[in-house]
Amino acid sequence: MKIDVQQLAEHLAHTPFQVEGVYRYSKSSGVPYADYTDSFPGFVFPIAGKIQFQFNGTPYIFSPGKVVHGGANMKLDQENFGSINWEYILVQYRICKSELEESSFSHQHFELLTGQSPRLIELIMRLWHVYNQGGGISMFQTEMLFRNVLNEALLCVANRQNSCESHTLFERVSNYIHENYYQSLTIASLAEQNNVNRNRLSYVFRRYAGMGPAEYLLKYRINMAQEMLFTSDAPVQEIAQTVGIADPFYFSRVFKKQYGISPSEYREKFINNPC
């Protein structure tokens, strides 16, 4: 189901809501089969791979570049795509005023085409980390971060709709980065490859990703490293080289700047104590 992003933004601006839970699911850990969605509506933020769910018979493919919303107590069906791995984060919420629920988007299923956004992924990962820390400050930060996540998602959708040509360029270059991030890429070569100058490429990335292409590439490499730290036992130095960063000290410094802790500390904290 398609949704008017401006109407959704206006709805979110005038409807009080509260986070009920933030959950991370992947193929390795599995998702318990259920015939219906939970008693709270939720936004699904795909991180990797793809899997299909049906809400009341309408299919949605969970894959990076989109956000999917499902209402409460909807008929639910699941379909895997063979051996393809997948991962997503589910944020459940509730409307705080019952009289607003009947006219609420929370009863609907729909998807938002955000496009590839490292900043959105970074925000949703921070939301998951903060939620699992517990305590009053964590609860407060969770509410703030979820609104930042929704804001970033809505901005990504609006930016995509504003300019098809610029968006096509952004998608082409960002997808190339996603497929070749481990190689020796330069902004000059990316611009030349797509027959644009560096200023044009920088403008497009700042418009759709909120950052320049060099920062985008670096953040994507760090995001991929974060995933490897979470799913593999490879040494930190090897992971750094795998994502295209030759200097392990630089890698550790950038990782800590993005996630607040070093790669080794991250692995110790979120692998041994994931919740």
Q: How much is the pLDDT for 275? A: 47
Q: How much is the pLDDT for 191? A: 94
Out of 112, 133, 162, pick the residue that ends a domain.
162
Number of domain units in the chain:
2
Instruction: Please indicate, yes or no, whether residues 45 and 104 belong to a single structural domain of this protein.
Output: yes
Is the separation of the CB atoms in 105 and 76 below 8 Å?
no
Instruction: Please indicate, yes or no, whether residues 125 and 183 belong to a single structural domain of this protein.
Output: no
Output the DSSP codes for 55-90. Answer: ETTEEEEE-TTEEEEE-TT-BEEEE--TT--EEEEE
**19-33 residues labelled b (16+ CB within 10 A) or e (exposed):** beebbbbbeeeeeee
15 is in which domain, residue-wise? 5-162
pTM over 0.75: no
Distances (CA, A) of 39 to 23, 76, 106: 15, 12, 11
Instruction: Please indicate, yes or no, whether residues 169 and 120 belong to a single structural domain of this protein.
Output: no
Out of 113, 140, 162, pick the residue that ends a domain.
162
Q: How much is the pLDDT for 114? A: 93
| CATH code of the domain covering residue 44 | 2.60.120.280
Cβ atoms within 10 A of the Cβ of 272, count? 7
Instruction: Please indicate, yes or no, whether residues 109 and 237 belong to a single structural domain of this protein.
Output: no
Q: How much is the pLDDT for 218? A: 95
Structure-token pair, residue 155? 């901005």
Is the separation of the CB atoms in 212 and 190 below 8 Å?
no
Instruction: Please indicate, yes or no, whether residues 188 and 178 belong to a single structural domain of this protein.
Output: yes
Is the separation of the CB atoms in 108 and 71 below 8 Å?
yes
Distance CA 65, CA 52 (A): 15
Instruction: Please indicate, yes or no, whether residues 23 and 147 belong to a single structural domain of this protein.
Output: yes
Out of 101, 136, 162, pick the residue that ends a domain.
162
Instruction: Please indicate, yes or no, whether residues 130 and 241 belong to a single structural domain of this protein.
Output: no
Instruction: Please indicate, yes or no, whether residues 257 and 178 belong to a single structural domain of this protein.
Output: yes
Instruction: Please indicate, yes or no, whether residues 97 and 168 belong to a single structural domain of this protein.
Output: no
Q: What is the pLDDT along the chain (275 residues), one digit of tens a residue?
A: 778 889 999 999 999 999 999 999 988 655 556 788 999 999 999 999 999 999 999 999 999 999 999 999 999 998 888 888 899 999 999 998 766 555 578 889 999 999 989 999 999 999 999 999 989 999 999 999 999 999 999 999 987 776 667 888 999 999 999 999 999 999 999 999 999 999 999 999 998 899 999 999 999 999 999 989 888 889 999 999 999 999 999 999 999 998 889 999 888 887 655 54
Instruction: Please indicate, yes or no, whether residues 9 and 96 belong to a single structural domain of this protein.
Output: yes
Structure-token pair, residue 36? 């219906």
Instruction: Please indicate, yes or no, whether residues 19 and 141 belong to a single structural domain of this protein.
Output: yes
| CATH code of the domain covering residue 187 | 1.10.10.60
Instruction: Please indicate, yes or no, whether residues 258 and 131 belong to a single structural domain of this protein.
Output: no
